[in-house]
């Protein structure tokens, strides 16, 4: 059976999905975000090999916590969709055990697994990096060809969606940027349960120093928390208004 590469495991997580969760950070990411806080997860080589059944065994140790809190398992990274076959097999086993699952993703990975994965996942935490093609390439090193295929697949998704976006001064902290974000997710409004605009901070800088890597945003200031919160609430209000409407048309 297929093994996966796991960078690390966090127990008792409270932020990445509902309730108390065990978070499996999978190794490997196709993006190279300028502000990445976990550059040590980017290379696919590395981490610890685990079978899907070992992930389930580990996850089951904390079942009483999930049951009491409405929690479960979250796959994060790195980018979990980069290990699509492993993720799919593991999700099937977790589903059979009745364990709630969440996927923390930027939507880049093996497209052939997207639909099956989405049938099994209860919450998608969609981390949107940038909405403009050129800016996306500058920020992540990866060019978007049209709309992100994973985002398009979410049109048919039955579960809940949390939207996340790291707001970076000079890159995405403008009304125009927020309008663009709104337009790209508006068609999902009825499924969106939570929206988080996370102010960019420099807490990952030491990791770059330890890995002897240059920090790409060295000259960028941290994002003002209050301003990020104001944008978040503006976006949330627009989406709530849309949730009350009957029909939502996908943005092109
Ligand atoms: S998607 Fe996440 S793990 Fe990958 S480079 Fe960006 S911030 Fe780092």
pLDDT band at residue 252 using 50, 70 and 90 as cut-offs: very low
pTM: 0.94
- Determine which of 50-64, 114-128, 169-183 has the lowest per-residue pLDDT on average: 169-183
Residue 1, pLDDT score: 64
Q: Are 164 and 126 in contact (CB under 8 A)?
A: yes
Looking at the 3D structure of the chain, how many domains does it have? 1
Q: Does residue 249 lie in a domain region? A: no
Residue nearest to atom 3 of ligand 1 (CA): 78
Q: Output the CA torsion 35→39→42→47 (10° steps).
A: -150
CA distance 113 to 122: 16
Residue 251, pLDDT score: 47
Residue nearest to atom 8 of ligand 1 (CA): 36
% of the chain at pLDDT higher than 90: 76
Q: Would the CB of 38 count as within 6 Å of ligand 1?
A: yes
Q: Does residue 251 lie in a domain region? A: no
Q: Would the CB of 36 count as within 6 Å of ligand 1?
A: yes
Q: Does residue 131 lie in a domain region? A: yes
Residue nearest to atom 7 of ligand 1 (CA): 36
* 131 CB-near residues (< 8 Å, 6+ apart): 177, 180, 181, 183, 184
Grouping H, G, I as helix, E, B as strand and the rest as coil, residue 153 is: helix
CATH classification at residue 33: 3.20.20.70
What are the pLDDT digits (tens) for 1-55? 689 999 999 999 999 999 999 999 999 999 999 999 889 999 999 899 999 999 9
* 48 CB-near residues (< 8 Å, 6+ apart): 5, 6, 7
What domain range includes position 168?
4-244
Q: Does residue 77 lie in a domain region? A: yes
Q: Does residue 250 lie in a domain region? A: no
How far does residue 31's CA lie from ligand 1's centre (Å)? 6
């Amino acid at each position: 059976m297929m093994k996966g590469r796991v960078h690390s495991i966090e127990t008792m997580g409270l932020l990445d999905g509902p309730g108390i969760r065990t978070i499996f950070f999978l190794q490997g990411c196709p993006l190279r975000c300028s502000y990445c806080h976990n550059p040590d997860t980017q290379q696919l080589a590395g981490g610890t090999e685990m079978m899907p059944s070992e992930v389930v065994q580990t996850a089951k140790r904390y079942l009483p916590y999930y049951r009491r809190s409405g929690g479960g398992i979250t796959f994060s990274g790195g980018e979990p969709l980069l290990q699509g076959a492993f993720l799919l097999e593991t999700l099937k086993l977790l589903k059979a055990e009745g364990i709630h699952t969440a996927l923390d993703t930027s939507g880049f990975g093996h497209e052939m697994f997207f639909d099956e994965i989405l049938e099994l996942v209860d919450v998608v935490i969609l981390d949107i990096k940038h909405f403009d093609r050129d800016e996306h390439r500058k920020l992540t090193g990866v060019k978007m060809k049209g709309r992100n295929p994973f985002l398009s697949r979410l049109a048919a998704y039955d579960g809940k969606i949390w939207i996340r976006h790291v707001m970076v001064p000079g890159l995405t902290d403008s009304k125009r940027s927020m309008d663009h974000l709104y337009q790209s997710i508006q068609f999902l409004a009825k499924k969106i349960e939570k929206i988080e605009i996370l102010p960019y901070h420099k807490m990952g800088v030491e990791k770059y120093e330890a890995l002897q890597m240059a920090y790409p945003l060295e000259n960028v200031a941290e994002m003002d928390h209050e301003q990020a919160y104001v944008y978040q609430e503006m976006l949330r209000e627009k989406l709530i208004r849309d949730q009350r409407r009957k029909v939502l048309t996908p943005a092109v």
